[in-house]
Amino acid sequence: MARSSGQRLLTHDRRLGVRFVAGADEAGRGSLAGPLVVAGVLLDYELLQGQRVRRLSALNDSKQVAHAEREALFHAVAGCASGISVRIVPVGEIDRNGLHRSNLAGLRAVLHDLCPPADACLVDGFRLGPSAPPHRAIVDGDARSAAIAAASIVAKVVRDRVMRRLDAVYPRYGFVSHVGYITPGHSSAVRAFGPSSLHRRSFQAACYADEAA
């Protein structure tokens, strides 16, 4: 019988042979508008047994699941995790400090937030430098580690909720549908109305060209 995606991801983390595993990931790196949302999730593998672990059977990289399933997984993670930290990095900070630096700072922060300190900290893709807790960077980690996948679900769901609420404040841009990522409709709206205060001006986006001309 084939293993579920969640079983495969949980097996990866259990093979580390420790009790507390933390994962960190972000949502919104490639977005033209809106904040970066960084999440950390702490899983206690002594408690992830029976019904608690069955709730994570469908766990997967947030990019691989549809909106309704992400919402269900968000609630499953919230019910199973021993700790969750979320940091929202605003547009102004991204423009001042740069996207990559802002992302690394957020990832370091959420790992420091988690308590008790993890026996193993896993991060999707990036080394975070010596000021972070000891950690391991895993390429495509959100498709390999349960803790990172859980963090990716939390970050994506929180960010999508934020952007859909902001659609009421900035109704011209269609955030409710694309949540700030570049689409033909989003680019057209920026050309027609100009960028809003939610748009990342440090990005070299083609739809900003008319304003700069």
Q: What is the pLDDT of residue 93?
A: 97
> How many Cα atoms sit within 13 Å of 203 on the Cβ side?
21
Say yes or no to pLDDT of 1 above 50.
Answer: no
Secondary-structure breakdown of the chain: helix, strand, coil percentages, each rounded to the nearest 5: 45, 15, 40
* b/e burial code for range 170-204 (CB count within 10 A of at least 16 → b): beebbbeebbbebeeebeebbeeeebbebbbeebe
Q: What is the pLDDT of residue 3?
A: 67
Q: What angle do CA 186, 189, 195 make, to 5 degrees?
A: 95
Q: What angle do CA 107, 108, 109 make, to 5 degrees?
A: 90
pTM: 0.94
Contact 118, 22 (CB under 8 A): yes
pLDDT in tens, 128-174: 999 999 999 999 998 999 999 999 999 999 999 999 999 999 999 99
Residues 39 and 46: their CA atoms lie apart, in Å, by 22
**CA nearest 108: which of 88, 92, 123?**
123
pLDDT in tens, 80-98: 999 999 999 999 999 999 9
Q: How much of the chain, in percent, has pLDDT values that exceed 70? A: 97
Q: What is the pLDDT of residue 213?
A: 47
Mean pLDDT of 189-209: 93
